[in-house]
Amino acid sequence: MNGHEPLVAPGFGNVADAFLRTIADDGRSGAAMSVWIDGAPVIDLWGGMADVRTGRPFTFDTLSVTWSCTKGMASVLIAMLVERGMMPPYDTPVIKLWPEFGAHGKGQVTIGDALAHRGGLSAPLRDLTLEEAIYPLRMADVLAAQAPLWPPNEHHQYHAVTHGALTAKLVTLATGRSIGRCLDDLVAKPLDADIWLGLPESEELRVTHMVEMETLSAPPEGDPETLRWLDRALTLGGAITLDNFKEPRFHQAEFAGVSGIATANGLAKMWSATVAPTKGVRLINDETVDALRETRSEGPGYLPQPPPYQSWGAGVMVPSEWQWYLSPSSFGHDGAGGQVAFADVDARVGFAYLTNRMGDWDRGKSVIKALSRALG
């Protein structure tokens, strides 16, 4: 554990207890949690099994696939680029950076619209190959050339996987560097945070093994057309499955919507640095935070689905019936495996809960509720 010991600051014992209750007692999986307040850690905890195949336990240094928490990482990076003038403002049409994106009437889609799932590209019209799926710039070119699935900006629909292709392309066009390199240079290294988009091969042995995998497919009941498009949004026409996310090549790819890799401490540290100086670093200022978390999409999406519904700012999830976080000033993202990571402006909190047991978002929510009670 490199000398790291569990940390629970006075007054947060109930949060520690809530965290431990999220770890299943079957010895097959585990979790880690980190909470920072005013730029300093108040909780660092871990427990359970990181890899049931080898008996490797969770530790401070255990790395987890962050699933859609990755979208939060990418969105914070883009907010940094916007603030520094390295990317145009959110209200700029995407075609100013990416002329090919305007095909089939998408020319009025802004950077903010694209980040807020409003661009009509939640799924590819044709089946993608694995090579197109795993390399986001290739997927981005396919999406740019296709017609939108709905009139842009008239609706929104969660871009479960394709969001990462759009963010990766925007970052590369704005900076000339890959999204993974930018995240490393601008976020991970300044904060000394273990977060990656494109994991170095040398770090692979630290990654958790996921358990209780389910087939990556649409729910069995509902409108057939809705289910078909939800399935395409997740699998890109069958190119990817959940089992792919056990593979080192997926960990090492800059699959910017879903395959981020982090420790709980590293991810919480990143979110802390969006609202408070953390390790001497403030990633974005208050004005940029306000622009990032301004609600751009909320309520029912284009495809008919039952509530609760999610809400988004410029790529980050903001409080909704789906996830309330701590307060109306919270912003972050959750992940398909039950992970959740966010910041809160008023409480000056950075939070991350990572687990290798798939599904069940109630685990992270239960810890957040306990944290809310601890903060009063």
Task: Encode pLDDT of 205-264 as tens digits.
Answer: 999 999 975 544 444 567 888 889 999 999 999 999 888 889 999 999 998 899 999 999
Task: Kindly report whether the global pTM for this prediction surpasses the value 0.85.
Answer: yes
Q: Residues 6 or more apart from 210 whose CB is under 8 A from it?
A: 65, 242, 245, 246, 337, 356, 357, 358
Q: Residues 6 or more apart from 316 whose CB is under 8 A from it?
A: 71, 72, 75, 76, 292, 293, 331, 332, 333
**C-alpha 31, offset from chain centre:** 17
Which sign does the torsion angle of CA 292, 297, 302, 308 carry? positive
Class of domain 64-324: alpha beta
Instruction: Of 73, 333, 286, 41, give the one whose Cα is nearest residue 186.
Output: 73
The predicted structure's pLDDT at residue 321: 96
Q: What phi and psi, each to the nearest 5 degrees, are found at residue 276?
A: -155, 150
Give dist(CA 266, CA 35) in Å, integer. Answer: 10
The predicted structure's pLDDT at residue 217: 44
Judged by DSSP in three states, 304 sits in coil
Mean pLDDT of 343-371: 95
Q: Amino acid identity of 250?
A: F
The predicted structure's pLDDT at residue 213: 54
Give dist(CA 313, CA 326) in Å, integer. Answer: 16
Show the tokens assigned to 296: 């751009």
Instruction: Of 36, 7, 14, give the one whose Cα is nearest residue 344.
Output: 36
The predicted structure's pLDDT at residue 59: 98
Instruction: Of 23, 84, 31, give the one whose Cα is nearest residue 340.
Output: 31
Mean pLDDT of 44-60: 97
DSSP string, 44-75: EEEEEEEETTTTEEP-TT-BEE-BTHHHHHHH
Residue 270 has pLDDT above 60, yes or no: yes
Cβ density class 51-63: b for 16+ within 10 Å, e for less:
bbeeebebbbbbb
The predicted structure's pLDDT at residue 221: 66
pLDDT digits (tens, 9 = 90+) for 154-196: 999 999 999 999 999 999 999 999 999 999 999 999 999 999 9
Residue 375 has pLDDT above 90, yes or no: yes
Give dist(CA 227, CA 51) in Å, integer. Answer: 33
DSSP string, 77-118: HHHHHHHTTSS--TTSBGGGT-GGGGGGGTTT-BHHHHHTT-
Length of the chain in terms of residues written: 376
Residue 284 has pLDDT above 50, yes or no: yes
CB-based contact 144:125 (threshold 8 Å): no
Average pLDDT taken over every residue of the chain:
94
Which sequence spans correspond to the domains of the chain? 64-324
Residue 49 has pLDDT above 90, yes or no: yes
The predicted structure's pLDDT at residue 256: 85
pLDDT digits (tens, 9 = 90+) for 233-243: 999 999 998 88
